[in-house]
Amino acid sequence: MPVANCHKQDTAASSRKPSLPGMRYAIVTETWPPEINGVSLTVEGLAQGLRKRGHDVGLVRPRQGHDSARVDDTLLVRGFPLPRYPGLRFGAPALRALAQHWEANTPNAVYIATEGPLGWAARRVARRLGIPIATGLHTRFDHYMRDYGFPFLEPIALHWMRRFHNAGDATLVATRELQEWLAHRRFTNPMRLARAVDGTLFHPTKRDARLRTAWGAGDGTLVAMHVGRIAAEKNLALAIEAFRAIERVRPDARFVFVGEGPLRGPLAEANPDLVFCGLQRGEDLARHFASGDLFLFPSRSETFGNVTLEAMASGVPTLAFDYGAAREHLRNGEHGIRVPDGDAAAFVTAAVRLAQDPVALRRMRHATRAAVEHLHPDQVAAEFDALLQLLALRRRDHAQRALA
């Protein structure tokens, strides 16, 4: 039973409802730590938040190389390598295992975070068992078609995404912009669930002079940086173009890449003066973020862009296109600069403008953190819990009316 008119709703309104203790939820995801990407870390945070609120959370995910035969509260399914994404796997459509698992211990609601074969199977089983479903739209597969050279497949990808998500009771997205965009493209139940950032981990005080020295940067050196997957969908050629323009006005500037991906080798070979730090996690990632001076984020394929919040929480002014996390949280001229979506020339011009104004960068450094301090993981978990409970209560009321 879909939730009516959800595209006009925000989960914050639902979070004011009283919380019911001891719910059982299931989360289905085809990526999970130690895999490092926005989806795995977001889903892990949601699971931790629900457990912290006293709920039973069962995971369904592909088996990873480090897993033992059994993992507590987790149904492990067979996984297969994901093309173009070394280290990531998609889950087999384990219909029978899912049905047996959920028939034995039926969850009050299911959250399906990924649209792979495992996600489709989970959606089918949950519908058959009458379990309410929330889906998460974390990845713009329609944009990926363009980024990997298949723009003619964008409409097909969008149709496939709509078919998957419209079979659930609500589709969770991170921004009002995407919520409205989906509603105008016949996604029936998009609802906004804000993203959180760990302000204790990501903090300006993590700035590390020794790390900057290792990058060849002194106190007055401008360090531009990019954090994320080094892949075609991140539009990294534009980040490098912007940095080369910065170099013309700040010859001592440095550019630091944090992350891994298929383009790391080619980019490093073509740009031997750039610094490639590889994948960083936890405190190391926080030190890298806080030790930068300007975050260049030219991606146009994100549904959100968690790294934008992490940069802002770390006190790093950000340059990004006007969509996703930047549109939702970054105030132009106060926390960095948003440029019109897709305007590469404006992106380069803005990068140079920021690089030439160290006074503005210092002012922004103090303002950025304040802009995201309210995005606490506990608040987001409360809103997520409220949404899942709302779906469960509506499904129960519907069943009771059907029996009356």
326 compared with 254, residue with greater pLDDT: 254
Q: Does residue 88 carry a pLDDT above 90?
A: no
Looking at residue 8, its pLDDT comes to: 44
Q: What is the pLDDT of residue 20?
A: 66
**174 or 2, greater pLDDT:** 174
d(CA 33, CA 41) in angstroms, rounded, equals 7
Per-residue confidence (pLDDT) for residue 128, from 0 to 100: 95
Residue 288 and residue 24: Cα distance in Å, rounded? 38
Q: Encode pLDDT of 339-378 as tens digits.
A: 998 899 999 999 999 999 999 999 999 899 988 988 899 9
> Which pLDDT does position 5 carry in this prediction?
41
Structure tokens given for 202: 């990501």
Average the pLDDT over 384-400 and give the result: 85
Which residues partner with 165 through β-bridges?
Answer: none
The answer, yes or no, to whether residue 4 has pLDDT greater than 70, is: no
Question: What is the per-residue pLDDT for 404?
Answer: 61
Model confidence at 103: pLDDT above 90? yes
pLDDT of 400? 66
Provide the whole-model pTM: 0.80
Please tell me what DSSP assigns to residue 34: T
Q: Is 196 exposed, middle or buried (0-12, 13-18, 19+ CB in 10 A)?
A: buried
pLDDT confidence of residue 284: 97
Mean pLDDT over each residue of the chain, to the nearest integer: 88
For residue 386, pLDDT over 80 is answered with yes
Please name the fold of domain 6-196+376-403.
Rossmann fold (3.40.50)
**CA 32 to the chain's CA centroid:** 13
* Alpha carbons 200 and 92: distance in angstroms, whole number: 37
Check the CA dihedral 314-353-226-137 and report its sign. positive
CA gap 142, 139 in Å, rounded: 9
pLDDT band at 143 (very low <50, low <70, confident <90, very high): low
Q: Which residues are CB-contacts of 195 (< 8 A; sequence separation ≥ 6)?
A: 42, 174, 304, 306, 309, 325, 375, 380
- Contacts of 221 by beta carbon, 8 Å cutoff, 6+ apart: 212, 252, 253, 254
What distance in Å separates the CA atoms of residue 336 and residue 325, rounded to the nearest whole number? 13
Could you tell me what percent of the chain has a pLDDT over 70? 89
Q: Would you give the DSSP letter of residue 7? A: G
Token reading at 251 = 């010859």
CATH code 3.40.50.2000 region(s) in the chain: 6-196+376-403, 204-372
CB atoms within 10 A of CB 72: 6
End-to-end Cα distance, the chain: 17
* Closest alpha carbon to 311 in 321, 319, 303: 319
* Band of pLDDT at residue 13, cut at 50, 70 and 90: very low
Kindly state the tokens that stand for 63: 């088996």
pLDDT of residue 296 exceeding 60, the answer is yes
Nearest alpha-carbon partner for 206 in 132, 274, 280, 133: 280
Write out pLDDT tens, residues 207-244. Answer: 999 999 999 999 899 999 999 989 888 999 999 999 99
Of 51-55, 74-78, 313-317, 397-401, the least confident: 397-401
pLDDT of residue 167: 92
Chain segment 319-344, per-residue pLDDT in tens? 999 988 898 899 999 999 999 988 99
Q: Which of 378, 390, 231, 346 is nearest to 299 (CA)?
A: 231
Identify the CA nearest to 192 among candidates 324, 59, 24, 17: 324
Model pLDDT, residue 148:
65
Q: Is pLDDT above 50 for 15?
A: no
pLDDT in tens, 109-138: 999 998 889 999 999 999 999 999 999 988
Contact indicator for 246, 353 with CB cutoff of 8 Å: no
CATH 3.40.50.2000 fits 204-372, yes or no: yes
